[in-house]
Structure 1
């Protein structure tokens, strides 16, 4: 029963991530700048995901929602390379039909890793949209 409480505390902590620009931050908060990286991820999804291929007024998808984000353990080898924080996240969205109506829905998963004051993003395997646990 402690696990859900720990997971909830982590999600609350992550939801308070700073809104710093450019994915860089000099804060002591290990998650500072993550929100900017998630916005960049959203832009990348809209530019490249098949569900977003049909553009209406320049936009290919709508209804973006981060379903979960959760801190990940940092291994000894990663810590030795300077990794300060790791997060997995899941995002859902809906495509748009040429007539402007809601089209095909989609989802995307990403791993974020912070080294020094910069975040990097890599594709992640699908996770449970509620808990961010690996499927």
Structure 2
């Protein structure tokens, strides 16, 4: 049996409840949205002039950070605003679900040499380590001569 208590009662349309259940919104956006639902639909209004101080009090979000959540909800089309009069967008086709972020990496700038194709050997390169052990041995330098050469 359904009863309406004297403590207040508001009807939430089923379509709106279903749309809210599938909406992709984060935690702070959700708190702001439910505060707006409370201030509008719970009092049988389609929109209401809601001061940010009331939203901050209802949500527990600092007024400085409310703008981020409100702007995000406006961008997604979940709410509408006109001169600080907020309401829930009931035309759900206007709701936008943000696309998944895709990071496209640009190839590095041309460095002059392309990687070898499959099956081909890379170009022959000369070892740039002149002071390697093998280089000293080939030149016939003794350990003391190595030290002198390093100091010079």
More helix by share: 2
More strand by share: 1
TM-score (norm 1): 0.24
